[in-house]
Structure 1
Amino acid sequence: MSDAVSPIQILRMSGDTAVGTPRIVFGLFDGPDAVADAQSVALSVVEVGNAEAEPVWQGPAKNYSDYEVPYWVAYPTIPSPGFWGVTAEVALADGRTVSSQFTLEVNAESESVTIGEPAPLSENRTLATEPDISKLNSGNDPDPAFYQLTVADAVASGKATVVGFITPGLCETRWCAPVLNSVATVRNEVGDAANFIHIEVYEDFQALTYVPEMAEWGLQSEPYIFVLDGDGQVTASLPGPVSPRELTQALNQVLP
């Protein structure tokens, strides 16, 4: 049985939700504190405004605790655009099960490049075209290894590629700033088996104007990670927080 009043609040950590099986990312919070010891989360999705509707999807969410803010991911099946209500049954470490709700606004199509589509052959800035690395990364101590290739170069290499649209120094939340750290961790593990590219979201850190690749990839927000296979097709689209373990799982699908 669930408690009548849940102490748990659910915070969505990604947007751009479209019909199909979108990646839904959320965190569990008790007031300002992240709930790190929840044992499981089961979701049920129903159409908003239809009190007698049966759930269109029910299933578990998966926990990723190897990140600064623990988060949960589910891939519910959403049959049509509109507003959908989600009930989460959260099993806590003390043995209680509590219920919490949130709403999904689902679009007919994703705004961004989607799984199965060819990646845009972007000619993003590299150290060859912009030698001042401080203009390629808004954070501290940027790693030159992320700025060696354009996306076009990476696709031409025939290797799997990870492309991250991230602004590490200007991100305003705890769940987006560490994404580049996740990418670096995975790059250190796989070495030269894949290409790794960071595209800084902003072209101008004062005016906060987006780089042209944001529009080219259909992005309205960050962080956003894409995994490409050796032919340059998108095989994973990961908006919001991404832990090393989740990125490794996505990349392993396309590594030799």
Structure 2
Amino acid sequence: MINISPRIICTLIIVTILFTTSCSVTPNTGNSSHSDSNLSSDNEEKSIKADGLTNINISLITTDISVGSNRIAFALVEEEKNTLIRKENVSIQLVRIDSTSFWDNNEVKTLGESISATSQLAEIDRGYSHLHDDGSTHFHDSGSIHVYISEIMIPKAGDWLIQIGSINESEDINIYPALIRVREKSLSPIIGSNAPLSRQLLLEDVKDIYEIDTSSPPNPAMHKVSIDEAIKNNMPTVIVFASPGFCVSLTCGTTKILVDDLYEKYNASADFIHIEPYDLDKARNNQGLIPVSVMRDWGLQSEPWVFFIDSNGKISSKFEGIVTQSELETAFGSIRNNMVK
């Protein structure tokens, strides 16, 4: 058993609710008051805030976590300043827990399984572009953010505590753990499975491209072929689910720009498709963010997503939330090299 303060229990329950009911990709664990990188009751007193202690939260970006191979993206946020932390040599540790013990004597029972993984520090450039009346495009640079990406194999479903296993840091720090709910099966299509044969609204179905695209400027070429047609034509396909205009996660614009860059380089050898996750008519008329049917077809409850589909119609790679240009280049190289001859 591990003694954990009532405040961390409340936080873990809240985060669990966020994972199971929200479409946001950045659950917040900032109300927690416990950090125990070794999950040892000997360190419980260190969870109490003290002068000179830097309190850091793990802000999870990935929400669709299931048994098997996972790409977990997260950020480290300094609690007091609410700023992102950039540190080298960060690793994570996952420990499976019995969530029912939350209610028993303010304790969390571990189930004897733990997994460790290194994390890659990624710098993500942020910005957005808009179209001027004269037809020119202007890009606004919003600086960069630093996130961490871990590739990790999770053997069992259930509740796991994620915590920072090591960090290069000389000052006193207090890193709060976060709770993740690992599903038996992924909500989104798994790697190697057949891509869903969905059909979305195309340019030919609307009077104005802005009915199906909030990009500035939009790319008409990404709205000329349906998903089902692209999957059947023996060409690789790249699909980006992103809403630069109504993004809950605040990362859609950057992801769409990265996919646009990929399109400029490789559009002759693959189909590129952009899907707006929400009904734009309802969104623009203050009727809420209602997911379009294609989002339901693909089991997506967050945004943005990028899928790479090989020429046989199978999912080759997928990325939820923040993604790097190098990850996209590697993923595209894989589907290009496996084209049907």
TM-based fold match above 0.5: yes
Work out whether 1:24 is the aligned partner of 2:46: no
Alpha carbons of structure 1 residues 97 and 227: separation in structure 2 relative to 1, 3 Å: farther
**Which letter does structure 2 place at the counterpart of 1:10?**
I
- Residue of structure 2 aligned with 1:194, choices 257, 263, 270: 270
Once the 2 structures are TM-superposed, how far is the Cα of residue 57 of structure 1 from its aligned partner?
1.5
Alpha carbons of structure 1 residues 198 and 57: separation in structure 2 relative to 1, 3 Å: same
Alpha-carbon separation, structure 2, partners of 1:154 and 1:105: 34
Task: Give the number of equivalent residue pairs.
Answer: 253
Aligned-partner SS, 1:140: coil
Q: Could you say which structure has the larger radius of gyration?
A: 2
Work out whether 1:8 is the aligned partner of 2:56: yes
8 Å contact from structure 2 (residues 96, 110) kept in 1: no
What percent identity do the matched residue pairs reach? 26
8 Å contact from structure 2 (residues 307, 317) kept in 1: yes
Alpha carbons of structure 1 residues 80 and 110: separation in structure 2 relative to 1, 3 Å: same
Q: Which runs of 5+ in 1 are unaligned?
A: none
- Residue of structure 2 aligned with 1:46, choices 83, 90, 95: 95
Q: Which residue of 1 aligns with 2:130?
A: none
Q: Which residue of 1 aligns with 2:83?
A: 33
8 Å contact from structure 2 (residues 119, 148) kept in 1: yes
Q: Which residue of 2 aligns with 1:153?
A: 229
Work out whether 1:162 is the aligned partner of 2:210: no
Aligned-partner SS, 1:163: strand
Alpha carbons of structure 1 residues 52 and 139: separation in structure 2 relative to 1, 3 Å: closer
Q: Which runs of 5+ in 2 are unaligned?
A: 1-36, 38-45, 47-52, 99-107, 127-144
Once the 2 structures are TM-superposed, how far is the Cα of residue 52 of structure 1 from its aligned partner?
6.0
Alpha-carbon separation, structure 1, partners of 2:259 and 2:172: 34
Work out whether 1:61 is the aligned partner of 2:119: yes
Work out whether 1:125 is the aligned partner of 2:201: yes
Work out whether 1:112 is the aligned partner of 2:112: no
**Which letter does structure 1 place at the counterpart of 2:58?**
I
Specify which structure has the higher proportion of helix. 2
Provide the TM-score with structure 1 as the length reference: 0.88
Q: Which residue of 2 aligns with 1:143?
A: 219
Alpha-carbon separation, structure 2, partners of 1:47 and 1:243: 29
8 Å contact from structure 2 (residues 248, 303) kept in 1: no
8 Å contact from structure 2 (residues 249, 304) kept in 1: no
Provide the TM-score with structure 2 as the length reference: 0.68
Q: Which residue of 1 aligns with 2:31?
A: none
8 Å contact from structure 1 (residues 222, 240) kept in 2: yes
Once the 2 structures are TM-superposed, how far is the Cα of residue 197 of structure 1 from its aligned partner?
0.6
